[in-house]
A and B are shown apart, each in its own frame.
Chain A
Amino acid sequence: MIRHVILRALSKLLIPLIMIFALYVQFHGDYGPGGGFQAGVIFGAAIILYTLMVGLEAAKRVFRPRVLEILVAFGLLLYGGVGVVAILEGGNFLDYGVLLHDPVHGQHLGILLVELGVGITVASVMATIFFLFAGRGRSDV
């Protein structure tokens, strides 16, 4: 918990911007530099900054470790799920062309979904690892 006024005010201003930027990087990855991995890391950095500002216990009430654990697996399963759906639609594993009638649109949808899966996994992994590191060395862990 940081009581320094300037740091608190600046963090409050920056955290929403960082999160919006992460979402921009996530969904604009098809058109500009970036993608799921970078977006996940930036979103994780926003969570870490929030944790540094309000303290570990308060941050864990917002980003519950239990939910983060589920999200870590969910992102990976979303990625794999797109691949399995492609098999069920009659294509190869991770062959997005068969997802929609138009192969190019199918590719767009597939890339969007797998990048989302990567982003969710990376963001929750970064937050989880930081929570575990920050919670180390306390009597209650």
Chain B
Amino acid sequence: MIDVVHIFLFTFLAVIAIAVIRLRDLFAAVMLMGIFSLLSASLFTVMDAVDVAFTEAAVGAGISTVLMLATLSLTSSKESMKYARPQPLALVAVVLTGAALMYATFVMPRYGDSTAPIHHHVADDYIERTHDDIGVPNMVTAILASYRGYDTWGETTVIFTACVGVMLLLGGGRTFYLWRHRDDDDDEDGAV
């Protein structure tokens, strides 16, 4: 029964991906990518990875779509036809990479295999120790915030750096400059 759901979701993902590639209307493509993210989130839910599904639904289907629409409102919602002619070299590169990736899947453990190495590297240790060490019921939170706290700290720094980058590119840093020079001009808040 669960296989039927998997096949159903994966088929839709493939159909939407092909549709996004073929569309020239970027507005429709952005909307389809939102649906793609929502379907991915459903897939993660079916796989019992609810924390990942939550993130995918909030970021992929929510914020990314809004930011891409905001970008479209600044540019054009039609794809440029500059690269519309066939690119044989690109096709060869994509086919070769795809074939290599598919070849690599043959030696991977089967989907859902409980003896796969990924499930026995550190996972056993976490599952055994979380209850006594940390005592929070959600093991994902325990691993992310405590066992792997250093990684999460790095991820937060990445988000911070991304924000600083966007501020530098789009001019958000002016707020602080204007705040320091607020005595020069009265209506600086409206000009930010």
Q: Which chain A residues have a beta carbon within 8 Å of chain B's beta carbons?
A: 25, 29-38, 41-42, 44-45, 48, 57, 60-61, 65-66, 69, 72-73, 75-76, 79-80, 83, 93-94, 96-97, 103-104, 107-108, 110-111, 114-115, 117-118, 121-122, 125-126, 128-137, 140-141
Contact = CB atoms under 8 A, between A and B. Distances in A.
A96 B51 contact: no
Contact of B135 (A25, A29, A83, A107): A107
Interface stretch (B12-20, B32-40, B57-65, B110-118): B57-65
A50 B86 CA distance: 44
B43 to A, nearest CB: 15
Considering the complex of A and B, which 3 residue pairs feature the smallest CB-CB distances, nearest first?
A133-B70, A94-B149, A33-B50
A118 B160 contact: no
B179 interface: yes
A111 B170 contact: no
Given A72-B163, A96-B149, A129-B163, 20 more contacts: A33-B140, A41-B58, A45-B58, A60-B189, A65-B192, A69-B167, A72-B160, A97-B133, A107-B134, A111-B146, A122-B156, A122-B159, A125-B159, A128-B163, A129-B67, A131-B172, A132-B167, A132-B170, A132-B171, A140-B190
Given A37-B55, A94-B150, A128 B137 contact: no
Nearest to B150: A94
B51 A45 contact: no
Nearest to B145: A111
Contacts of B141: 29-30, 35, 111, 115
Contacts of A65: 172, 175, 192
A130 B74 CA distance: 13
B136 interface: yes
